[in-house]
A and B are shown apart, each in its own frame.
Chain A
Amino acid sequence: MRVRVKDICFFSLCLMAAATAISLLFIIIGYILWHGAPAINFAFLTEGSRDFGAAGGVFYQTTGTVLLMFTAGLIALPIALGTVLFSHVYLGPSYKKTTDLFIYALNGVPTIIFGLLGYIIIGEGLHLGVSWVTGSIILAVMILPSMAVSIDEALSAMPHKYRDAALVLGLGRWHLIRTLLLPRSLPGVLTGLFLGLARAAGETAAIMFTATAFSGVGLPRGISEPVATLQTHILVLAGEATNPRALTNAWGAALILVTLVLALSLTAMFIRRQVRMEAEI
C-alpha cells in the first residue's frame, strides 16, 4: 500500500514537471503571438522602420537577418563538409575522439566571445569594419560545429567496411568521396544547414557590435555595409518597454524572428526524422 502511495506521489510530481515544461512553451509562444500579432500587417512586413522603431515596419531588419544567416551558411557549409570528409577519409577512426573534442570545444564557446574577438580580428584586423561580411564570418564560425556534427552523424552511420572495401578495390579517395560519401552525407548536410541557419538567425550577442546598425539602414549595397537585423532591433526596442508603440513593434519583430527560427528548426527536425525512418526500413 505504501509503495502505491509513493508511486502515485512520484508520478504526480513528474507529471507536474512535464506539464509545467510543456505549458511554458505554450505560454511563451502564446505570449509572443498575443503581443506580436497586432503589429503584423502588410505594411509592417514591407516597410522600413521609422521614428526609431516606434513606427513603420521591419522589412530591412528581416532581410538583414536572412542575408546574414544565408551568407554565414554559405561560408560555413563547405568548411564543415570538408572537415568531416577529411577526418573520415584521410584520418580514420583513431583520430575521431580528438577531432570531436575540438569541434565540441568550438561549439561551447560563448557567443559573446565570438562577437568581441570577431570585432578585433575581422572588423579591425582585416579592415572589414562593422559590416555584413564581418557578421557573416563570425556567425559562420559559430555555426560551423553544429553543421560538422550533423554531417558527421550521417557519415558515421555508414559501416566502415564500405569505405575499406572501396579503398581495397583501388578506387581513389576522391572517387570514394564522390560516389559514396557525398551522397551519404546529404541528409546530414541538410540537417546541419537548417540547424545552423536557425542558430545564426537567432543569435544576437555575436553580431551586435560587429554587423549591424540601428538607424538609416536599407538593403545593404555591398558586403562592407552594415545591415539591420531583427535581433538587434528587438534588443534596442526592448529598452523602451514603456513606449507602447515601440514595444508592440518589438513583439511584432519577435514574432517574425521566432517564426523564422522555428520553421528552420522544424525543417531540420523533419529531415532528420525522415532519414531515420528511411534507415530503419
Chain B
Amino acid sequence: MFHLNKDRAAGIVLGTSFLITMALALFILAFLLAESLPVLREEGLSFITGQVWYVAGDIYGALPMIYGTLAVTLLALIIALPLGIGSAVITSEILTGRTRHIVKSLMEMLAAIPGVVYGLIGIALLTTSVRDLFGLMDGNTIFTAGLLLGIMILPTIMTLSDDAMRSLPGELRAQGRVLGLSHGQTIRRVVLPGSIKGITGAVLLGVSRAMGETISVMLVIGSLDRLPTPIYNVFTSGQSITSKLGREGAEGLGLGLQWSALAGLGLMLFISVMALTFTGNIIRGGVRPKKSKNHEVTG
C-alpha cells in the first residue's frame, strides 16, 4: 500500500506552490508570444519599422511607441543618473549611522509613492510648468513623461548605487588614503571605479522600471502615435508602449488583429524589461553585499 507520510504531503503541497511560481513567468512569455504571432505574420518587420498605427485599416506599425519608450527612458536616465549617484556618494561615503539610515529610508519612501499619484502631480503641476517654462503650446510631452519617470526611478538608482559602494571593503579606502589621495580623490579614483559593476546593475534595474511604468506616463505623454519632427524634438506629444497598452488595451483586449498587435507591443516590452532585469541582477550579483536588500523588488 502506498503510504502518504507527512514529509511527502508537505513536499507535494510546497512543490505545487513552487511550480506555480516558476511556471508563471514562462506562461506569460508563452502567452504573449502565441497571441502576437498573427500580427508578426501579417506585418512582419513592418510591425517594428512601421510608423502608422491605424486600427480601422488593420495597419499596425509600432515605431512611434518604440521610439517613445526609448526616449522617455533615456530622459529619465539623464535626470536620475547624476542625482542618484551624487546622492549615493553622500550617503555611502560621508554620512554614517543614523543619518545615513534616515536618508536612505526617505529615498525608499519616495520609491513607495504610487505611480498614479505621480501621474496626478504630473497632470496638475508638471504639464503646466513645462508648458510655461519652455513656451510650448501644451505640456503633455515626451519630455514631461521623461522628467516624471526620472523622479520615479531616482530612489532605485540611488539606493542600489549606495549598496554597491558600501559593499567595497574598507581597506581599499584606507589604501587610497595611505597613497596620499584626498577623500574626494579616493572616491573618484577608487570607490566609483570599484563599484562600477554594482552601479551599472542599479542603472539597468532603474531603466527596466522606467520602461514598465504605465499610469504616470499615460497621463502626461499626450498619447499621439507619431514620431516627432525633427526626431529629437521631445517637446511634442508622443506615445510609449506602456501608455499605448494602457490607453487602447481595454478596448482592444482579446479581439482580432488589434489585440495581437497589442500583445506584440507587450511582448517587446516584456523581452526588453526581462533582458535589463536579468543583466542588472547578474552584474549586481558579483558585488552584492551579504545582506542584500533587493530594492528591485521593493521599488
Contact = CB atoms under 8 A, between A and B. Distances in A.
Q: Do chains A and B touch in the complex (CB under 8 A)?
A: yes
B13 to A, nearest CB: 6
A17 interface: yes
A3 B184 CA distance: 9
B177 interface: no
A66 interface: no
Interface stretch (A45-53, A220-228, A259-267): A259-267
Contacts of B121: 28, 31-32
A173 B7 contact: yes
Most buried by B among A18, A250, A266, A273: A18
A209 B90 CA distance: 43
B215 A205 contact: yes
Interface string B216-232: 00010000000000000
Contact of B254 (A119, A153, A175, A258): A119
Interface residues of B, number: 92
Given A109-B25, A112-B214, A269-B108, A83 B11 contact: no
Interface stretch (B39-47, B58-66, B270-278): B270-278
B124 A247 contact: yes
B250 interface: yes
Interface in B99-141: 101, 103, 105-110, 112-117, 119-121, 123-125
A110 B103 contact: no
A99 B120 CA distance: 38
A209 B94 CA distance: 47
B294 A149 contact: yes
Contacts of A235: 116, 119, 215, 219
A262 B21 contact: no
Given A4-B182, A85-B14, A104-B281, A110 B86 contact: no
Contact of A204 (B86, B215, B276): B215
Contact of A14 (B26, B90, B254, B298): B90
A43 interface: no
Interface stretch (A54-62, A158-166, A195-203): A195-203
B231 to A, nearest CB: 25
Contact of A104 (B5, B28, B119, B277): B277
Interface of B: 5-7, 9-11, 13-18, 20-22, 24-26, 28, 31-32, 82-87, 89-91, 94, 101, 103, 105-110, 112-117, 119-121, 123-125, 151, 154-155, 158, 182-185, 187-188, 208, 211-215, 219, 242, 245-246, 249-250, 253-254, 262-263, 266, 269-270, 273-274, 276-278, 281, 291-292, 294, 296-298
Given A105-B274, A204-B114, 7 more contacts: A14-B94, A22-B106, A113-B266, A157-B291, A201-B114, A203-B115, A250-B120
